[in-house]
Amino acid sequence: MKSPVPDYLDEILRACGDDDGAPADYIPQLAAADPERLAVCVSTVDGHLYASGDADAAYSIQSISKPFVYALALLEHGLDHVLERVGVEPSGEAFDELSLESDSRRPLNPMINAGALTAHALVGEPGDDADARFARIHRLMSDCAGRELDVDEGVCASEMETAYRNLAIANLLRSYDVINQEPLDVVSGYTRQCAVSVTTRDLAMMAATLGSGGRQPMTGKQVLPPEVVRQVLSVMMTCGMYNAAGDWMSTVGFPAKSGVSGGILGVLPGQVGIATFSPRLDAHGNSTRGVRLCTRMSADMGMHIMQAPEPARATVRRDRTLRGPDGSLVRVVSLQGSIQFSGAERVLRIVADGDPVAGFVLDLRRVASTNGVARRMLAELVRRLQLDGTQVALLDPGSFLPLPDDAVVTQPRRLDTLDRYAEHDRV
Amino acid sequence: MKSPVPDYLDEILRACGDDDGAPADYIPQLAAADPERLAVCVSTVDGHLYASGDADAAYSIQSISKPFVYALALLEHGLDHVLERVGVEPSGEAFDELSLESDSRRPLNPMINAGALTAHALVGEPGDDADARFARIHRLMSDCAGRELDVDEGVCASEMETAYRNLAIANLLRSYDVINQEPLDVVSGYTRQCAVSVTTRDLAMMAATLGSGGRQPMTGKQVLPPEVVRQVLSVMMTCGMYNAAGDWMSTVGFPAKSGVSGGILGVLPGQVGIATFSPRLDAHGNSTRGVRLCTRMSADMGMHIMQAPEPARATVRRDRTLRGPDGSLVRVVSLQGSIQFSGAERVLRIVADGDPVAGFVLDLRRVASTNGVARRMLAELVRRLQLDGTQVALLDPGSFLPLPDDAVVTQPRRLDTLDRYAEHDRV
Amino acid sequence: MKSPVPDYLDEILRACGDDDGAPADYIPQLAAADPERLAVCVSTVDGHLYASGDADAAYSIQSISKPFVYALALLEHGLDHVLERVGVEPSGEAFDELSLESDSRRPLNPMINAGALTAHALVGEPGDDADARFARIHRLMSDCAGRELDVDEGVCASEMETAYRNLAIANLLRSYDVINQEPLDVVSGYTRQCAVSVTTRDLAMMAATLGSGGRQPMTGKQVLPPEVVRQVLSVMMTCGMYNAAGDWMSTVGFPAKSGVSGGILGVLPGQVGIATFSPRLDAHGNSTRGVRLCTRMSADMGMHIMQAPEPARATVRRDRTLRGPDGSLVRVVSLQGSIQFSGAERVLRIVADGDPVAGFVLDLRRVASTNGVARRMLAELVRRLQLDGTQVALLDPGSFLPLPDDAVVTQPRRLDTLDRYAEHDRV
Amino acid sequence: MKSPVPDYLDEILRACGDDDGAPADYIPQLAAADPERLAVCVSTVDGHLYASGDADAAYSIQSISKPFVYALALLEHGLDHVLERVGVEPSGEAFDELSLESDSRRPLNPMINAGALTAHALVGEPGDDADARFARIHRLMSDCAGRELDVDEGVCASEMETAYRNLAIANLLRSYDVINQEPLDVVSGYTRQCAVSVTTRDLAMMAATLGSGGRQPMTGKQVLPPEVVRQVLSVMMTCGMYNAAGDWMSTVGFPAKSGVSGGILGVLPGQVGIATFSPRLDAHGNSTRGVRLCTRMSADMGMHIMQAPEPARATVRRDRTLRGPDGSLVRVVSLQGSIQFSGAERVLRIVADGDPVAGFVLDLRRVASTNGVARRMLAELVRRLQLDGTQVALLDPGSFLPLPDDAVVTQPRRLDTLDRYAEHDRV
């Protein structure tokens, strides 16, 4: 059998519509891009990559480098320090506007050029020169891609020849002491960062790295900590698609970042990384067909983060009270599926609403996953039952619950089976 | 046993900090609010409500009415029509700015007053007067709360006496034909909508209605369709907390809306509705302690929508190949937990990578939930295997998979047991 | 002989170009204006009026009322009080923008609607109602025109039906307490002020009243004090022609105000008042042909206030030293023309540079005019010469110089003739 | 006798008030300026200069160079070409804002840095390098000052070290192709232009050059044509005093330009050039005491351009009708003072209103000056009288009127005396 996923990707490439828009033309290298190039890749967070179209065609990463350099600044200096220099508010303006917050003089967010230049300048140690800064950036981006990325020197040189706009921004930032380095150095390093050459496969792997909380799916390396990734995805969600952020949130609904060479990188946290490529751009500077591909995938695959998940089967699979050999009552609550706050709350509620029992068995054998709050709540359930004098046993072969070494309470027993209760009377 | 959830809510109320900020004071009724009032409520999507503090104190809903009236406009006229009149972009400005999109003259979004007045004016039929419009709005808000809500006539009258700012906005909107009604009527109706009296319990129920995709948890009434709720939550996410949207996205990360009387309504799609109440406001006009409560709950309960879920137990619980009575090979793949795109993809991948078999059993007995894309992918798996000549059986007591009445393929059998395979040799 | 001035005006009407632009169309009365109507009037500051074209056609004064109502507010409350409520800076924006100074919330200037509404509201006593305010305004405008002006009630009623924009502005002003009256009253009175009906003849007389420092040329009534007129003309110069102020200053160079019904009122201080009328408007809302007529007149008649006057004949007509009957020297300095600072300075300089003499005669018989600084300087010349012991006589039949009753110095003699010096030897 | 003018200047220096404000401090050279330095100079248009205070102290000219470089661009390329690159509208913003017209991308005016940099870049031939451009600018500024000006190399070097803001602006201009040169070259040349060293005497002479329509008063060289000067003064009037243009127009009322080193240059067209110097600056960046000195001089000396001149003595000194030797009537109209439009109009009017006569004598012996429109009107008077068959004679020893060699009409006679009419009967 052949997997239908590639067929699906082939199908949406075919259906992604007319070839309107035009490639960026401010430098010859971008203007010379084949406007018919088209690719889509989807990478699972365990590293399996599906590709369709020109997935191995290379192009300069351009603005898609911004979230990674922002991540690096966060990694090196922490959120508070970075927030002093770059805000997180949508700008409602073009990506290359020379606008700063009127009082703080911070760039509004790290996805517009002013903020991206500032993030670039934050990378590294105070004494670092442009090469040292770029080396750190190149290291991170390569680690996210899972391979050593090259720089397109032609693009880099050509961009520098007409980098007047970015030089204007960098000089403005320097005049307000938002950056401390020579503006030309910062623009030079930033331009190099944007000229890193990627394929659509690379972008999908970089997206999957963000999607898996910072762990590169293929190499297994934890490239970025989850809290940095969360911040980066938050900013991508509200500011990633230039001044169409609200429209993107409404219609697509997952965090993404586009680049002027035609790429779009999208992330569905915990599930997949997505990348599309088509050089024709719309008025916002986003890839026309890339936007259509993402919109289609979001609708087909239920990727909008504001879409309420379809009702899950009840978390509580079974709730029985048995009479033990000694005549005492034992309540057995069996859970299933993914347990988050609402599932744990349900368990707590039915137990709190029920009558006291001598023994309590929490059966987690069919649980697929839990999150921190659910684990804390279930551990608290165990603790409170024990404080009430109830003897508690866990059926937890997946070791979801920590066994607290709490002096106050008896350690709950781990059981492998409920079989011995089975012969007793149900209540 | 007593549930720890109320203890948790009591605890965060105690810990939510100093009483800085001050109640709104532009009308006597708000200025007279007891600044020490404090409440938090959490409602599950199945309608269980936890409350702590002054959860039954009543106050005017103010701007928290905005998402519900936007929802009503969407429900009545559809997204395209509403988008012609009100945008979805964050404004970066104060909620009462007189700013419209420079070309289209649309208000930037329905969470600023200009957009909220426009959404109000969109409600109802062309011939509707102010009373008819308000009646519709009152109906929806009451349906979301699950009880008949009152209007605080004192607040309503007092607001109208100084409603110069909203009258300015409504006249501006009228001058551009964004609204067609008399500005005074629209402001009057809008002011009445803002004077609807709610408790923090009500707000939590209204939040839970949004959290459950539009179904009121207690009455079970589908008040709003899921696609309208998705749009409303998207706009709340990027525009709900006035001009601190980006900051809220970074630190709290779930869609919310605040009101000048001190309430905040928050939604975790599919899980819970949240409401907090404290009249002291910060410089943005958001409740100081409400923001702290939401930040705390988000951190404690893992509610940030950009937080990657913790790794789930493998979707594929077991993958066996058995030799049937006739000597042919039968592959049995058993799934568990919640199956979404990535889980379904995993199944498809291992099947596609494996050798052909004569029979295939897809065991969904331990599956807790699926979503549309996962169902479509698994159905496609069945279809492709059948096209390859493989005989397929489903163990699907939850009826997750539709049995396609596809002429091309044989109907897969539903099985209740795999026991008869058990005696045969494993491969 | 027939005066060539009417011929000149006929000529420029003929030559003022194509009939591009279109009348304002936001109310039927303006839209119905005959677009081919065309008039120009020039009134001297002594009240002689030249007219060409449809000079007796009546139309609503519209925004040309603004400088007169601003003048009235200044007259009644003084510059400082008015400046607290309305600024004097050009706005660079459309006349009906809802923009106020960001910190003070003042309208930027009294020529945009926000400032004009504020000036209107400033008129009168605190307890005045809309009728009382309008009565004052109507009185001033009629006094400037030299006849009782009517109100076009049809225009007034029609404007009120769609006055949403001005209601928006007035409500905004009220929300910031820039005005204290009910917004509807202020807009109603302002709309009435704009509906005052004038002919181009009227406008020219009103302009001439400003041009003569506030004295109505025909009635001789001092309607406004010169310092108020100076302030009004200053604001007209920088803000009168909507957002084309700089362009108007460059190309026309005299203060002016245009109205949406097609009128333009211009002032050449001390010389003439000008009015043009043609309903077709350009993109700025200024009369297309009116602008051309003013540009032509400015060029032809040397009316640009930044144009250096052509060199005047020497102020010092004659400078002789005669030997008197007693052998002492007497210096006789004869002046001519208009004496301002530079002329007086010249006299002081040659006297200061010259040798001391026993007697000094200052001959002002051919002087046409002086201004204050020149008079003070010449009086100081007399005083200093007397302090030096020189005997001074004035030939001043026009009484330009005051005879100071200064105890320190001898009163200079007034002479009627220098004839008795004539027989003595010239030095 | 000693002239009172120096006493007056000494007096206003003493009275110009407290030493509030502080020198600019963004480079050491400006911060080190002695804050108590104070000077005022007034130069007549015939080159006599009055000075008081530290009139020979040298400082960098800074922004006061802007009008001269704008003048040079106008001189070399014409108004239309320059207007394509730099507008003439007041900006309402700080002098160093990075704001351009939203559609045309032109800097708003040549007095803000963006416009001044553009004007600088316009100077010279396309192939000119920075030195060649500066040489032209230095030539013009020296010609206006009447001596070779130096450059303060220390200031120039220090400004370049921190010229980030201007580099930002120049790069922005380059990115929009408003300028075509390398931004660094333009900023370097502009910085050099601002570092030209002047004394307050120099500034007064430069001002007087503008005041006399472009003719340097001492050297007599016509440095700039009058039409260029008119344009420069127009822009100074509306944009010269940074974002306080409207306030300056109201209170001072003559065109001026200030610089950050503490100088102010003011012009009263046709009369004087003014310069003040005091390094302490107000919040707008204008010299605190300089503003006070200019305000005082404007009030004392009647320099506000919107101040209506005091009523002149009647232009028509005498209007007699005599009976000639042959019994025919001869009308003799004698004029005096300065004849402009309004004076000429008066003559035309009384003649047009009078009865036909056989002979007409126009007596211009006491006329001090005329302007072009007056001359054209009087010549037309002559022409029309002749067409009516009236014999015309001129008493015009100053040759104010051209004798038209018009084939249609008889040449009017020039007379030296009216004596022979004296014996005849007056009518």
Whether B333 has a pLDDT exceeding 70, the answer reads: yes
Average pLDDT, chain B: 87
pLDDT value at residue A411? 53
Scan for tokens 């204008």, then name that residue.
Answer: D286
Identify which of A149-153, A374-378, B13-17 has the greatest average pLDDT.
A149-153
State the nearest Cα–Cα gap between A141 and chain B, in angstroms. 20
Identify which of A209-213, B27-31, B370-374 has the greatest average pLDDT.
A209-213
Q: What phi and psi, each to the nearest 5 degrees, are found at residue B132?
A: -65, -40
- C11 burial via Cβ count (<10 Å: 0-12, 13-18, 19+): middle
Whether D410 has a pLDDT exceeding 60, the answer reads: no
Whether the Cβ atoms of residue B151 and residue B192 lie closer than 8 Å to each other: yes
- Reported as a single tens digit per residue, the pLDDT across C23-59 is 888 888 888 888 889 999 999 888 889 999 999 999 9
Chain D residues lying within 8 Å of C86, measured CB to CB? none
pLDDT value at residue D260? 93
How many whole angstroms separate alpha carbon D164 and alpha carbon A168? Answer: 9
How many whole angstroms separate alpha carbon B159 and alpha carbon C233? Answer: 42
- Reported as a single tens digit per residue, the pLDDT across C153-184 is 999 999 999 999 999 999 999 999 999 999 99
Chain B residues lying within 8 Å of C180, measured CB to CB? none
What mean pLDDT do residues D369-396 have?
86
Whether the Cβ atoms of residue C218 and residue C47 lie closer than 8 Å to each other: yes
Whether B51 has a pLDDT exceeding 50, the answer reads: yes
- Reported as a single tens digit per residue, the pLDDT across A10-43 is 999 998 877 778 888 888 888 888 888 999 999 9
Chain A residues lying within 8 Å of D175, measured CB to CB? 162, 164-165, 168
Say what the ipTM of the complex is.
0.87
pLDDT value at residue B312? 58
More confidently predicted of B261 and A400? B261
Whether D419 has a pLDDT exceeding 60, the answer reads: no
Percent above pLDDT 90 for chain C: 51
Least confident of A24-28, A285-289, C195-199: A24-28
Largest Cα–Cα separation, chain C: 88
pLDDT value at residue B407? 37
User: Among residues C8, C59, C66, C257, which one is catalytic?
Assistant: C66
Largest Cα–Cα separation, chain B: 87
* Cβ–Cβ gap C250/D234 under 8 Å: yes
Of the candidates C265, C287, C256, the residue with the CA atom closest to the CA atom of residue C206: C265
Chain D residues lying within 8 Å of C225, measured CB to CB? none
Whether D309 has a pLDDT exceeding 70, the answer reads: no
- Reported as a single tens digit per residue, the pLDDT across D153-168 is 999 999 999 999 999 9
What mean pLDDT do residues B348-375 have?
86
Residue D226: which pLDDT band, with cuts at 50, 70 and 90? very high
Instruction: Go through chain B and tell me how many residues it has.
Output: 427
- Reported as a single tens digit per residue, the pLDDT across A93-125 is 666 677 777 777 899 999 999 999 999 999 999
**Is D164 a known active-site residue?**
no
User: Among residues D88, D187, D260, D351, which one is catalytic?
Assistant: D260
**Is D66 a known active-site residue?**
yes
State the nearest Cα–Cα gap between A234 and chain B, in angstroms. 6
* Cβ–Cβ gap D183/A172 under 8 Å: no
* Cβ–Cβ gap B183/C167 under 8 Å: yes
* Cβ–Cβ gap C165/B183 under 8 Å: no
- Name which of C91, C233, C351 is nearest D92 (Cβ-Cβ): C91
pLDDT value at residue D158? 94
What mean pLDDT do residues B194-208 have?
98
What mean pLDDT do residues C73-77 have?
97
- Which residue out of C167, C180, C181 would a mutagenesis test of the B interface target, given it has the greatest number of B Cβ atoms within 10 Å? C167
How many whole angstroms separate alpha carbon C241 and alpha carbon C67? Answer: 12
* Cβ–Cβ gap B237/A255 under 8 Å: no
Whether A377 has a pLDDT exceeding 90, the answer reads: no
**Is C260 a known active-site residue?**
yes
More confidently predicted of C34 and C187? C187
Whether D422 has a pLDDT exceeding 70, the answer reads: no
Instruction: Give helix B226-239 / helix B200-211 axis angle, nearest 10°.
Output: 120
pLDDT value at residue C365? 84
Identify which of B47-56, C244-253, D233-242 has the greatest average pLDDT.
B47-56
What mean pLDDT do residues C195-214 have?
97
**Is D63 a known active-site residue?**
yes
Domains of chain D with CATH codes: 4-301 (3.40.710.10), 316-422 (3.30.750.24)
pLDDT value at residue A340? 81
pLDDT value at residue D424? 53
- Name which of A5, A246, A352 is nearest B345 (Cβ-Cβ): A5
pLDDT value at residue B196? 98
Residue D183: which pLDDT band, with cuts at 50, 70 and 90? very high
User: Nearest residue of A to residue D183 by CA position?
Assistant: A164
- Indicate the Cα dihedral angle C369, C371, C377, C381, nearest 10°: 20
CA distances from C174 to B163, B167, C167, C171, C179 (A): 10, 10, 10, 5, 5
- Strands of A54-118, DSSP E: 58-60
* Cβ–Cβ gap B171/C174 under 8 Å: no
CA distances from B79 to A296, B70, B75, C232, D353 (A): 18, 10, 8, 52, 76
pLDDT value at residue D239? 87
pLDDT value at residue A208? 96
Whether A413 has a pLDDT exceeding 70, the answer reads: no
CA distances from B381 to A299, A389, B330 (A): 20, 51, 16
- Reported as a single tens digit per residue, the pLDDT across C305-364 is 888 666 555 788 888 888 877 788 889 999 887 788 878 888 888 888 888 888 898 998
* Cβ–Cβ gap A368/B87 under 8 Å: no
Chain D residues lying within 8 Å of A174, measured CB to CB? 164
Q: What phi and psi, each to the nearest 5 degrees, are found at residue C300?
A: -65, -40
Average pLDDT, chain C: 87
pLDDT value at residue B406? 46
Percent above pLDDT 90 for chain B: 51
pLDDT value at residue C407? 37
pLDDT value at residue D409? 41
- Name which of C3, C48, C337 is nearest D368 (Cβ-Cβ): C337
pLDDT value at residue D322? 87
Residue C285: which pLDDT band, with cuts at 50, 70 and 90? confident
Chain C residues lying within 8 Å of B169, measured CB to CB? 168
- Tell me the catalytic residues of B: 63, 66, 190, 242, 260
Query: Which residues are registered as beta bridge partners of D58?
Result: D199
* Cβ–Cβ gap D309/C270 under 8 Å: yes
Least confident of B246-250, C251-255, D243-247: D243-247
Confirm whether residue A242 is marked as ligand binding.
yes
pLDDT value at residue D103? 76
pLDDT value at residue C414? 57
CA distances from C388 to C2, C393, D10 (A): 57, 14, 21
Identify which of B38-47, C90-99, C293-302, D68-77 has the greatest average pLDDT.
D68-77
The model's pTM is 0.87
What mean pLDDT do residues B176-196 have?
96
pLDDT value at residue B327? 82
How many whole angstroms separate alpha carbon A264 and alpha carbon A266? Answer: 7
How many whole angstroms separate alpha carbon C237 and alpha carbon C265? Answer: 12
pLDDT value at residue B408? 40
DSSP string, B97-110: ---B-TTT--BS-T
What mean pLDDT do residues A134-142 have?
98
Q: How many other C-beta atoms are found inside a 10 Å radius of the C-beta of residue B356?
A: 12
What mean pLDDT do residues B78-96 have?
85
More confidently predicted of D312 and C194? C194
